Amino acid sequence: MSHKVVTFGEIMLRLSPPGYQRFVQATSFDAVYGGGEANVAVSLANYGCEAHFVTKVPSHEIGQCAINALRALGVHTEFIARGGDRLGIYYCESGASQRPSKVIYDRADSSISRVGPGEFDWDAILSGASWFHFTGITPALGDGPAAATLEAVKAAKRLGVKVSADLNYRKKLWSPEKASAVMSGLMEYVDVVIGNEEDAEKVFGIKAGTSDVTRGELCHKGYREVARELVKRFGFEKVAITLRESLSASDNNWSGMLYDGAEFHLSRKYQVHTVDRVGGGDSFAGALVYALLEGMPGPQAVEFAAAASCLKHSIIGDFNLVGLSEVQVLAGGDASGRVQR
């Protein structure tokens, strides 16, 4: 039986210089579409779920292009609202070696940033759903999107739908103080929270011990303390934390941790040579939601999520274009990358 999952957020047009060119070198830009919750919906559709993405896009052709990108990958789009004047844009310059990637946002006054309470019929949208997912990016877009997110999670809780939230702190969208105030109010309705070391610290002031991701050093004990504190403060059923050790822009160590309130489960560590890291956390979230819907035990669930996000780092664009069997092979221990014939 296919699980119905609903995600809510912004989809954007991404413009990138070809290959590893810098912005100042580019005479053309590659165009793709993506966004936190849209990326999660694509992952879930790839795994066979009935994935629905909810947003608002303009009625013109660029808004339709964004919808078409989702439809082409099996994501349901019937609940997408139309209106407003523009689709948000972001420019992404891919880093390499010791040169970091750069992102420039041009999303002010996008259609989704103008939504408000009462614009979506959440009871109808969530009817028959098993899961609802959002990220911290959506309420960061403004008071209207924050109010719409609150309506959604309240409806989900009323209807018995599980709710997950990826904290996804973005300093270019809001301050730690504003993020803490808004996100704390939403956490009352969240069952599973996902984040990384910066998210927990910036949004809730919970720091992961002596970890220093910029030097490739992680303190697992510190992350366990973060997870315990999140459960203590908000009563989450589960806390998932992505663990990235940045050796350079090109090479990372990547793993995940899952805490169920009693036990900690740590995935194997992957040595990742990055082609495109955008959407790495979203691919982890999408895979984790699928694993939990399928009833996978904690150790298996976090292995599946870490494997899926490891594979995403090898794929250009925001979407994790891998199938269920590919993730299962890697999660099962085959990391050889040998040609499949």
The kind and range of the H/E element at 330 are helix 324-331
Cross-strand bridge partners of residue 32: 14
Judge whether residue 264 has pLDDT over 70.
yes
- Among 130-134, 173-177, 194-198, name the one with the lowest average pLDDT: 194-198
Q: Which of 166, 191, 282, 318 is catalytic?
A: 282
For residue 293, the model assigns a pLDDT of 98
Judge whether residue 285 has pLDDT over 80.
yes
Handedness of CA 22, 23, 24, 29 (dihedral sign): positive
For residue 337, the model assigns a pLDDT of 73
Enter the tokens of residue 227.
């997870």
What average pLDDT does the segment 216-224 reach? Answer: 76
Give the whole-angstrom CA distance, residue 21 versus residue 96: 10
Enter the tokens of residue 254.
């990547």
From the list 82, 81, 101, 84, the residue with the least C-alpha distance to 92 is 101
Which CATH number is 4-331 given? 3.40.1190.20
Band of the pLDDT at 333, cuts 50, 70, 90?
Answer: confident
What average pLDDT does the segment 291-303 reach? Answer: 97
Cross-strand bridge partners of residue 6: 52, 132
Judge whether residue 212 has pLDDT over 60.
no
Is 276 marked active-site? Answer: no
For residue 200, the model assigns a pLDDT of 87
Share of the chain above pLDDT 90, in %: 84
For residue 26, the model assigns a pLDDT of 96
Cross-strand bridge partners of residue 194: 166, 240
